[in-house]
Amino acid sequence: MGRLRNLAQTFYEFATTHVEEPDVPAVADGDDGYDKSTKIALLLLKEEVNKPLRQFEDYLNEMPGILAVFGLENSPDYTSFSVWDGEFPMKELRRLLRRSAEQAGLSGT
């Protein structure tokens, strides 16, 4: 889990520097939505883990240390990931994934 947590941290840092408002909480009080940097970082992690969406949701819920990186207690619902996929251009996500993988010393992504 250490490698995956480090990767989640890298994705979150990249996503946070990528958005305009990095100090917005991951989930606003009384809001069912997530901030842009959290969405982007979780989408990048989803691509790296490469599991079906329902399994990815369960996977995250079994790893509170990874959720803590994003300031979350529970994983977003698997349907959220489908919606978020449409919010961000794949070109942008691939560029961020490539940059974060290069910085983390990973290859093949």
pLDDT digit string (tens) for 46-98? 988 999 999 999 999 999 999 999 999 999 999 999 888 888 887 877 777 77
Which residues form the domain of 92?
A: 1-15+42-103
Answer whether 0.95 is exceeded by the pTM: no
d(CA 74, CA 69) in angstroms, rounded, equals: 12
Q: Which secondary structure element, helix H or strand E, spans residue 69, and what is its range?
A: helix 64-69
Q: Report pLDDT digits (tens) over 5-53.
A: 988 998 888 888 877 655 555 555 434 578 888 998 999 899 889 999 9
61 within domain boundaries: yes
Is the distance from CB of 41 to CB of 97 less than 8 angstroms? no
20 within domain boundaries: no
The domain tally of the chain equals 1
Is the distance from CB of 26 to CB of 70 less than 8 angstroms? yes
21 within domain boundaries: no
Q: What are phi and psi of 27, to 5 degrees?
A: -130, 120
* Contacts for 87 with CB less than 8 Å, ≥ 6 apart: 39
